[in-house]
Amino acid sequence: MDDILHNLQVINSRIEAACMKSHRERSEVKLLLATKTVTPDRIIKAIEAGYNLIGENKVQEVKEKYEALKGISHTKHFIGHLQTNKIKDVIKYGVTCIETVDRIELAQKLHQRLFSENKTMEVLIQVNTSHEESKFGANPDDAIELTKQASQLETLKIKGLMTIGLFSAETEKVRSCFRLLKNIQQQIVALKIPHVEMKELSMGMSGDLETAIEEGATIVRVGTAVFGKRIYPDSYYWNENK
């Protein structure tokens, strides 16, 4: 388990270096631990080391780990594709932010449920900046309209945008995804939509967090570089149907 502590230090240094390079404060960038497939004992190790923001992809895993993590102070985001029939459980098992609102139908169903339970939820609007079929997220051209529509649903606290960048060794192509997200954020900010906060940009993972930070990320989501390789391909975790 010492590997986790070591890996966290390495990631922290990478974040610090990227902040320095882009003249940003370290405090502007939150590290979210992508904990899919990671067992509670390993997650607890990371939380106890001071990294208390985690993100899960599957509602099933949120449920399974709930009891084990309940007594340990942490914040949990949902970062996977969310089917409307699982909304109930996401709300029930302590998720405070859904980073993957990518369609109005989901926003509406989420609102209905929250409203009936007299609750609110932080959300990010997920944008498909890489135009890859396999990834979820609103089309960049529709993201502003989706944000406007979702802003009418008063239980949803819109905090910003999220994207999964292109998987490519070509940094500049990956960068253009992050730049696009930043660009959409700025357009939305300029519209001054009531009840919409656009502070958060969740982008960047183990392989591309430096580029994301240079382009304005406020949340980087890191899994492999902290917990090691997973046995399933990522596509498995981005598709709730599988």
Ligand X SMILES: *Cc1c(COP(=O)(O)O)cnc(C)c1O
By CB under 6 A, name the binding residues for ligand X: 34, 36, 57, 79, 164, 205-207, 221-225, 234, 237
State the nearest-atom distance from the C-beta of 181 to ligand X, in Å: 13
Nearer to ligand X, 12 or 112 (CB): 12
State the nearest-atom distance from the C-beta of 149 to ligand X, in Å: 23
Nearer to ligand X, 79 or 87 (CB): 79
Nearest to 165 by CA among 180, 153, 154: 180
Nearest to 76 by CA among 48, 98, 45, 109: 98
Exposed (0-12), middle (13-18) or buried (19+): which is 67, by Cβ within 10 Å?
A: exposed
State the nearest-atom distance from the C-beta of 83 to ligand X, in Å: 16
Nearer to ligand X, 3 or 145 (CB): 3
Q: How many CB atoms lie within 10 A of CB 159?
A: 21
170 Cβ contact list (under 8 Å, min separation 6): none
Residue type, 198: M
Cα 154 to its chain centre, rounded Å, is 21
User: Phi and psi of 78, rounded to 5°?
Assistant: -105, 125
State the nearest-atom distance from the C-beta of 202 to ligand X, in Å: 8
State the nearest-atom distance from the C-beta of 146 to ligand X, in Å: 18
Nearer to ligand X, 153 or 174 (CB): 174
State the nearest-atom distance from the C-beta of 29 to ligand X, in Å: 15
CA angle 229, 59, 182 (to 5 degrees): 70
Nearer to ligand X, 113 or 221 (CB): 221
Nearer to ligand X, 156 or 203 (CB): 203
Nearest to 215 by CA among 190, 191, 181: 181
CA-to-CA distance for 4 and 174, rounded, in angstroms?
27
